[in-house]
């Protein structure tokens, strides 16, 4: 079956993208590999002068029988040897190439692995999609803003969203308009109502920025059904969907409170690959029929943040302005990162990488369960406190009805934000850091005449704190959450 081609969305580009002239030096770069041409066109240093001859690397070996955090010794070691000039393994990127200029899209061996990986995860419905290497999703999101947005433009984001992503937009003079969410993510009906009632004459949003899986900060995950609805609304109101998915592979499934049931289920945690793939949430990319979705993936949460490497998947048309921007910003991700990640992934193979992701999910499931167990144990059992066990990601939240605080009406003058700030100070005093929900509020403060539905709030006194179970050991986690519970008991006198 021949798939259709993607649509042309270039009318959504920023002035900057429209004005960006390709470097004339790029018009002759094809002559670099022409054997009949002596190429004195660019300032490329000889690789003879790169002071790294080779890298020998010890990594864990699939299928990681002792778990992915196990010591890397004996039979569990996979050795890689990346050299300057040779390819000792298919998929290796010799340092002479990765450390040279060129190939802003990314090194072919790495891109090929990512394309094959993508095919396992997404069910693509248009022909001309591709991938582009990025310096991680922070970089990819900032580039997205540059590619599409002018000062004064409006974008949509979950009503609570990742503060750095919001701040990047706001600094560029882009208004972030909040979309109501609940425990299953964006509420499509509310999104549609907002857009149907959008003030005549006001700029309509160009982009929806969403973290569908294990959302930061709420920990929620977007229903597959809702994704279809949101995609339909995107078509109706003509905006692009930017799916920022660093936590996509940390899909632990539902939290099971009953230990016996959990234990029975946990024997199934190590699913076979087909079941694992089937269990993953449907992606916006898999729904997209016309190239309206731009997906940002990152190795930060599944390999290591400091790799500063990720990739965008989108139509080839939409990747072009990113490539032109990259040529004037990062040029390309670090060659060391590309050689080391390509060396690792191509040795592991697609199957080995799935083993790794399965192992990682297993670890995070244990962490999540530990955290939620402790929360149920220590947080006051009172309707004013809601624990939200996440099914994906690194974050949990504890939601609190601030009006239940004994001094709500007096000391805090019925202002939930004041209670939140007070509790934040108290929790630090107790020896724990979790962060207040106010830090993540999406504020669309410059859109004229917002439709009423956007500001409606069924729980006006609700505040929350975000914590992570990713960063510390099980013992520390439990101790930390006990401190949280103790503080709440004392403060709320419950």
Pick out residues in 218-247 that bind its own copies (CB under 8 A): none
Do the strands 207-210 and 154-158 form a parallel or antiparallel pair, or are they unpaired?
parallel
CB distance 57 to 80 below 8 Å: yes
Residue 225 beta carbon to its own copies: minimum distance, rounded to whole angstroms: 27
Comparing CB distances to its own copies, the nearer of 44 and 261 is 44
**Rounded CA gap, 302 and 10, in Å?**
33
Among positions 309, 312, 374, 488, the unique one binding its own copies when judged by CB under 8 A? 309
According to the binding rule CB under 8 A, does residue 394 interact with its own copies? yes
Among positions 128, 192, 363, 462, the unique one binding its own copies when judged by CB under 8 A? 363
Q: Please confirm whether the linkage preceding 63 is cis (ω < 30° from 0).
A: yes
Interface of this chain with its own copies, residues 436 to 475, rule: CB under 8 A = 439, 467-472
Which long-range CB contacts under 8 A does 423-430 form with residues at least 24 apart?
A: 423/463, 423/465, 423/487, 423/488, 423/491, 424/465, 426/487, 426/491, 427/465, 427/483, 427/484, 427/487, 429/487, 430/483, 430/484, 430/486, 430/487
According to the binding rule CB under 8 A, does residue 350 interact with its own copies? no
Interface mask (CB under 8 A) for its own copies, residues 256-295, using x and -?
----------------------------------------
**Rounded CA gap, 150 and 171, in Å?**
11
With a CB cutoff of 8 Å and minimum separation 6, the contacts of 69 are 363
According to the binding rule CB under 8 A, does residue 366 interact with its own copies? no
**Rounded CA gap, 181 and 204, in Å?**
20
Among positions 5, 7, 20, 453, the unique one binding its own copies when judged by CB under 8 A? 20
Comparing CB distances to its own copies, the nearer of 376 and 439 is 439
According to the binding rule CB under 8 A, does residue 152 interact with its own copies? no
With a CB cutoff of 8 Å and minimum separation 6, the contacts of 31 are 37, 39, 41
Residue 16 beta carbon to its own copies: minimum distance, rounded to whole angstroms: 5
Among positions 135, 194, 242, 319, the unique one binding its own copies when judged by CB under 8 A? 135
According to the binding rule CB under 8 A, does residue 365 interact with its own copies? no
Comparing CB distances to its own copies, the nearer of 6 and 338 is 338
CB atoms within 10 A of CB 37: 12
Helices 335-378 and 474-492 cross at an angle (nearest 10°) of 50
Interface of this chain with its own copies, residues 167 to 206, rule: CB under 8 A = 167-168, 170-173
Interface of this chain with its own copies, residues 42 to 101, rule: CB under 8 A = 42-60, 68-69, 72, 77, 95, 98-101
According to the binding rule CB under 8 A, does residue 164 interact with its own copies? yes
> Using CB under 8 A, which of the segments 20-28, 181-189, 274-282, 410-418 binds its own copies?
20-28
Distance of CA 488 to the CA centre of its chain: 31
């Amino acid at each position: 079956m021949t798939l259709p081609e993607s649509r042309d969305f270039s009318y959504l580009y920023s002035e900057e993208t429209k004005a960006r002239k390709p470097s004339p030096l790029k018009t002759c770069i094809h002559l670099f590999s022409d054997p009949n041409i002596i190429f004195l066109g660019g300032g490329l240093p000889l690789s003879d002068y790169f002071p790294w001859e080779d890298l020998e690397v010890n990594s864990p070996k699939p299928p990681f029988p002792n778990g992915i955090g196990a010591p890397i010794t004996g039979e569990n070691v996979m050795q890689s040897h990346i050299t300057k000039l040779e390819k000792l393994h298919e998929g290796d990127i010799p340092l002479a190439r990765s450390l040279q200029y060129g190939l802003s899209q990314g090194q072919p061996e790495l891109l090929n692995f990512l394309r094959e990986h993508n095919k396992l995860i997404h069910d693509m419905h248009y022909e001309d999609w591709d991938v582009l290497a990025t310096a991680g999703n922070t970089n990819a999101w900032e580039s997205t803003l540059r590619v599409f947005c002018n000062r004064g433009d409006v974008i949509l984001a979950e009503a609570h969203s990742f503060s750095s992503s919001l701040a990047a937009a706001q600094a560029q003079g882009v208004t972030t308009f909040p979309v109501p969410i609940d425990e299953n993510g964006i509420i499509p009906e509310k999104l549609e109502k907002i857009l149907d009632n959008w003030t005549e004459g006001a700029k309509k949003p160009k982009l929806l920025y969403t973290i569908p899986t294990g959302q930061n900060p709420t920990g929620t995950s977007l229903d597959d059904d809702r994704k279809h609805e949101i995609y339909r609304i995107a078509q109706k109101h003509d905006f692009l969907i930017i799916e920022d998915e660093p936590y996509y592979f940390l899909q632990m499934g539902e939290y099971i409170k009953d230990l016996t049931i959990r234990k029975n289920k946990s024997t199934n945690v190590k699913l076979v690959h087909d079941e694992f793939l089937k269990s993953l949430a449907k992606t916006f990319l898999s729904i997209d029929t016309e190239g309206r979705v731009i997906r940002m993936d990152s190795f930060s949460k599944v390999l290591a943040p400091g790799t500063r490497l990720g990739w965008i998947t989108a139509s080839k048309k939409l990747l072009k302005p990113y490539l032109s921007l990259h040529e004037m910003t990062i040029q390309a991700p670090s060659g060391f990162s590309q050689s080391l990640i390509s060396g690792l992934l191509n040795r592991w193979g697609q199957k080995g990488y799935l083993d790794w992701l399965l192992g990682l999910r297993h670890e995070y499931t244990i962490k999540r369960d530990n955290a939620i167990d402790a929360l149920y144990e220590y947080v006051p059992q009172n309707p004013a406190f809601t624990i939200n066990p996440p099914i994906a990601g690194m974050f949990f939240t504890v939601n609190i009805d601030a009006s239940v605080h004994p001094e709500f009406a007096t000391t805090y003058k019925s202002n939930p934000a004041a209670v939140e700030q007070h509790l934040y100070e108290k929790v630090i005093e107790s020896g724990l850091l979790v962060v207040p929900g106010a830090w993540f509020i999406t504020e669309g403060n410059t859109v004229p005449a917002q439709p009423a539905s956007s500001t409606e709030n069924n729980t006006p006194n609700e505040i929350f704190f975000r914590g992570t179970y990713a960063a510390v050991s099980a013992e520390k986690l439990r101790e930390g959450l006990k401190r949280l519970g103790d503080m709440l008991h004392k403060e709320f006198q419950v």
